[in-house]
Chains A and B, each alone.
Chain A
Amino acid sequence: MKHLLSAGDLTAAAATEILDIAAEMAAVQGREIKKLPTLRGRTVVNLFYEDSTRTRISFEAAAKRLSADVINFSAKGSSVEKGESLKDTAWTLQAMGADAVVIRHPASGAPYRLANWVNGSVLNAGDGTHEHPTQALLDAYTIRSRMGRIDGLRVAIVGDVLHSRVARSNALLLKTLGAKVTLVGPPTLVPQELGDVSYDLDALLPDSDVVMMLRVQKERMHSSYLPSAREYSRRYGLDGARLRRLPEHAIVMHPGPMNRGMEITPEVADSPRSTIVEQVTNGVSVRMACLYLLLGGK
């Protein structure tokens, strides 16, 4: 594996290997000395064209715990603001000897373009409305940790699927790993082409093992995707009453950042069923595993 661009590129075996290595990385995180020497002397560039505190910090922590040198390149206040193209930026990174570039970009497919222009590995840390493969991997890791397996589980991904890179990556990866995925939301926000679709959250809840809530942005109301935030949360928001319709063992996930009161109520977000904090913790281990595998740690 040279790059990690799409969750769809991962076979079940490759994804499982990442999750297994992530588990080993997680074990190290429990030790007093958290750092491994694996990537000493290698350079990882975090190239962030969008503000993203949690993903950038997670990648930075992952690279540092593997002893890599980390360069944070944010588009704000950089040559990019002066009009430098992605291609020219790529050449700059190439000249600096980047072994891996972690890219977050508002344009779908930007990591694919970058991969043409640098010799190092490219990790997609979220591109437009396309994909966010490490989020899907950390979600899969979280599901496996909580439920003991992924194969055969029924997963509902709820919300603004149309604009969600998290949904796309999760739908691909969880299907590869044997889960039955249903995309749920109003027809304006749930495209038919990505998998099984349901418009009726209440009907689906009793038969769901995992419910993954997506962030719904307020601006969706302005382009007629939704009549109002209130109607959305009434029909598709996860509140206490809906939580109780889930089977005993079911878990609730959210990639963050949450719109409390919109797609999820505080009662649900803070309940023991919620894995939201674990997802963040697992993110570091999973990203360590990805960097380790891509940079030839093995």
Chain B
Amino acid sequence: MKIYIRDGLIVDKAAGAQVVDTDGLVALPGLVDLHTHLREPGREDAETVLTGSRAAALGGYTAVCAMANTSPVADTAGVVEQVYRLGQEAGLVDVQPIGAVTVGLAGERLAELGAMAESAARVRVFSDDGFCVHDPRLMRRALEYVKAFNGVIAQHAEEPRLTEGAQMHEGDVSQRLGLTGWPAVAEESIIARDVLLAEHVGSRLHVCHVSTAGSVEVIRQAKARGVQVTAEVTPHHLLLTHELATSYDPVYKVNPPLRTASDVEALRQGVLDGTIDIIATDHAPHTSEDKECEWAYARPGMLGLETALPIAIHVFGEQWDLISERMSYAPARIAQLSGHGHPLTPGNPANFTLIDPTAKWAVDPHGLASLSHNTPYAGMTLPGRVVHTYLRGVQTVENGKVTK
């Protein structure tokens, strides 16, 4: 198969068009990550917009949404524009900033959501990710307020009073290890409340990193009732379980925590039946000081950009329609990235990635493009290698190497 590109768009065979021969590789629409932590500004020792963009391109992404929990927090037009500009300068993926819902992620008063929406960054997704917008009145107001510019609130669902000091999934393993539990109900109760709030005010709600079987069920019921709710799951919640904490190696510490095998099964089912709309990485780079320490003192989070697609292939097989929908079309729709998430047909932007699904590769934490090395998949052999990636017709990855 051949793909013809002119002026950044896919075209019918035409004179003067750039020709890309897929050469037996699988062509997928450029992936879109709705949930990425790029750490800049503030923690450039863990990741920068540039290094994160490289990791994204190598993972087959053409757009990533950068979470707001930077330092300073992305709660003003100034900060979101800075992140947006850094993304443009890196030029490997479109970096779409997410704005904070509340000032300083403090959960007390609304940030200037309208100013961020009208800024050069054109923010449409707002999230206090890392923290839950737990005050029900504030959450209600946020859901209502963003309707003016068709925004969406992406909720980190975690009832804080039920997770004080929480270190891992509450269950038999946490009891055995003496680590304070993060009960499933702390997530499910917030999602249940939020779908009711979204229904009440007629707003859109997006649920970040759904991790429990109960949450899938709550969302399934809400969707059946017609609530405008979308949901995401991370690759690690589709594959890993809380048993991994037995080593006390904080590379497995993440928020929400790794759950049980039956949760993993329910999440996979949710992806298959559409209850869960998207797979998002929650790519969370951390320095070795923040991970090579005691479990309780380590920061939660794992790398994800370069392993997400291989894990999706590992879990779901070569279901390219499903993977395109969950990792490109649907996240682009939710984030309202009109230039992304389109099939490779003439007239659409030439955002795509070519992968070799038969190639197997062993994950080497120091072989990844991210500045940090906190991948939970070290030593695992995963299927599917990104060979080339194109952003608006410009090659960002060539033979498995970033072009800049």
User: What residues of chain A have their CB less than 8 Å away from a CB belonging to chain B?
Assistant: 8, 85-87, 105, 107-110, 112-113, 127-131, 165, 168, 191, 193-194, 223
* Residues of chain A contacted by B175 (CB below 8 angstroms): 191, 193-194
Ranked nearest first, the 6 interchain pairs of A and B with the lowest CB-CB distance are A109-B248, A130-B178, A107-B294, A129-B178, A193-B172, A108-B178
* Residues of chain A contacted by B294 (CB below 8 angstroms): 86, 105, 107, 109-110, 113
* Separation of A129 and B294 alpha carbons in the complex (Å): 13
A interface footprint on B180-208 (CB within 8 Å = 1, 0 otherwise):
10000000000000000000000000000
A108 close to B179 (CB less than 8 A): yes
A interface footprint on B295-313 (CB within 8 Å = 1, 0 otherwise):
1110000000000000000
B172 close to A109 (CB less than 8 A): no
Q: Specify which of B172, B178, B289, B292 is in contact with A168 (CB 8 Å cutoff).
A: B178
* Separation of A156 and B293 alpha carbons in the complex (Å): 36
* Residues of chain B contacted by A168 (CB below 8 angstroms): 176, 178
B176 close to A194 (CB less than 8 A): yes
* Separation of A223 and B171 alpha carbons in the complex (Å): 20
A113 close to B248 (CB less than 8 A): yes
* Residues of chain B contacted by A165 (CB below 8 angstroms): 178
Please tell me if B115 contacts chain A, counting CB pairs below 8 Å. Answer: no
* Residues of chain A contacted by B319 (CB below 8 angstroms): none
* Residues of chain B contacted by A107 (CB below 8 angstroms): 294-297
* Residues of chain B contacted by A110 (CB below 8 angstroms): 248, 294
- How many residues from B make CB contacts under 8 Å with A? 20
* Residues of chain A contacted by B178 (CB below 8 angstroms): 108-109, 127-131, 165, 168
* Residues of chain B contacted by A112 (CB below 8 angstroms): 247-248
Please tell me if B177 contacts chain A, counting CB pairs below 8 Å. Answer: yes
Interface set, chain B 237-276, CB cutoff 8 A to A: 247-249
CB distance from A258 to the nearest CB of B (A): 22
B176 close to A193 (CB less than 8 A): yes
B293 close to A130 (CB less than 8 A): no
B296 close to A108 (CB less than 8 A): yes
* Residues of chain A contacted by B248 (CB below 8 angstroms): 108-110, 112-113
* Separation of A113 and B295 alpha carbons in the complex (Å): 9
Task: Write the chain A residue with the least CB distance to B173.
Answer: A193
* Separation of A168 and B175 alpha carbons in the complex (Å): 9
A interface footprint on B139-173 (CB within 8 Å = 1, 0 otherwise):
00000000000000000000000001001000110
A sample of 4 more A-B contacts (CB under 8 A), given A107-B294, A113-B293, is A85-B293, A193-B172, A194-B176, A223-B164
CB distance from A68 to the nearest CB of B (A): 27
A109 close to B176 (CB less than 8 A): no
* Residues of chain A contacted by B180 (CB below 8 angstroms): 129
* Residues of chain B contacted by A108 (CB below 8 angstroms): 167, 177-179, 248, 295-296
